[in-house]
Amino acid sequence: MRFTIQRDKLINGVQDVMKAISSKTVVPILTGMKMEVRKHGVTLTGSDSDISIESYIPAEDEGKVNVENIEEGTIVLQAKYFPEIVRKLPESQVDIDVDEQFNVKITSGKSEFNLNGQNADEYPLLPQVETENSFEMPIDLLKNMIKQTVFAVSTMETRPILTGVNIKLENQKLVFTATDSHRLAKREIPIPDANMTIEQVVVPGKSLNELSKILNDSEETIEISVTNNQVLFRTKHLNFLSRLLDGNYPETSRLIPDHSKTTIQIKTTPLLRSIERASLLAKEERNNVVKFTNNDDALIEISSNSPEVGNVEEQVTADKVDGENLKISFSSKYMIDALKAIEYDEVIIEFTGAMRPFIIRPIEDDSILQLILPVRTY
């Protein structure tokens, strides 16, 4: 096997698949990176068995030659050394030459590396996902949906199903839901061209975070296919495969109150900054509680108290307040996460009492919903 490749193309491909490679895997060969060279191009693969990433570098793309002097073959490279070597090679072209003892010679300019490779036959085959049953959506919209929900997944392994984002596709409507049982984030969008149904799958939050990092913001589309235990995200040169989480995702719709006793319309940023300041005194406590009080006027009082350190008190002016006066306490972290995810200048907060979950939504958009359970302090 041998070929000559443009170094920048190789760097990009290597960087993408590295996201799936862990040095801590129990399957030793998975610490390596698989490289498959065919006449039409080079495919790199990395996997930690939960996530697998394939990056494809076509030999020719839009009239530009990326790979040449191709003799086909496969090899597994040491992922601990290969990426850094490629990044530091002196010239813009790289020759890679592999002999039958899996010795890998990497040459660029007057620099020559000889690395011990491994037989690619020992590398596990990736699960095949049927791509006939799939739908497409714009990449930037997918990244946005991930960003607005994934922070709310649970980080505790006590209920593994909650460490994933619940994905549903029904009646041309795609819904992402995440909850750690103390708060919930939900985002939906219409997919007019989708003529299929996904009853529900739960994708690990970690997988979605990695996917989001790899995808460039772009209006190109991504194809999503689901089988029993795998989901495949596919763009032009990238396959991103993740296992799904087993188990029943809790029914979340009944958590969401359908009426409210107090409604507050308020600018997002001033409220966010105020909550951020109120959270400063409670750095170490896990439940970093702030109090939120509204009286008869539009002045909202945000306060927090940390006996050994001191206390903080602020006022933020709401744009509109309807309904009963309210005193409620909640985790400042949850509120900060929710307000940051909303991405609109103004929000509506709907309360149904000091001990009931409350909802935060953007003022002009029903497709995003953030829900937070209060903390009992009064």
Residue among 133 and 315 whose Cβ is closer to its own copies = 315
**Closest approach of its own copies to the CB of residue 62, in Å:** 31
Site string for its own copies, 66-85 (x = CB under 8 A): ------------x-xx--xx
Please state whether 323 falls in left (phi above 0), alpha (psi between -120 and 50) or beta: left
283 binds its own copies (CB under 8 A): yes
**Closest approach of its own copies to the CB of residue 339, in Å:** 15
CB 30 within 8 A of CB 21: yes
Minimal CA–CA distance to 118: which of 103, 133, 136?
Answer: 103
**Closest approach of its own copies to the CB of residue 96, in Å:** 13
CB 4 within 8 A of CB 79: no
Tell which one of 40, 65, 71, 90 touches its own copies (CB under 8 A): 90
269 binds its own copies (CB under 8 A): no
Rounded Cα distance between 75 and 45, Å, is 11
Tell which one of 142, 224, 281, 338 touches its own copies (CB under 8 A): 281
Binding residues for its own copies restricted to 101-140, rule: CB under 8 A: 104, 110-116
Kindly report the number of other CB atoms within 10 A of residue 105's CB atom.
14
What does DSSP assign to residue 330?
E
Of 44-52, 53-61, 257-265, 310-318, which part binds its own copies (CB under 8 A)?
Answer: 310-318
**Closest approach of its own copies to the CB of residue 356, in Å:** 28
355 binds its own copies (CB under 8 A): no
280 binds its own copies (CB under 8 A): yes
310 binds its own copies (CB under 8 A): yes
Alpha helix locations (H) across the chain?
7-18, 82-88, 139-149, 205-214, 268-278, 332-342
Angle, in degrees to the nearest 10, between helices 268-278 and 332-342: 160
Sign of CA dihedral 169, 171, 173, 177: negative
Rounded Cα distance between 203 and 249, Å, is 11
Residue among 90 and 190 whose Cβ is closer to its own copies = 90
**Closest approach of its own copies to the CB of residue 107, in Å:** 10
Rounded Cα distance between 165 and 333, Å, is 19
182 binds its own copies (CB under 8 A): no
Which amino acid, one-letter code, is at 187?
R
Residue among 28 and 192 whose Cβ is closer to its own copies = 28
Residues that bind its own copies (CB under 8 A): 78, 80-81, 84-85, 88-90, 104, 110-116, 273-274, 276-277, 280-281, 283, 308-316
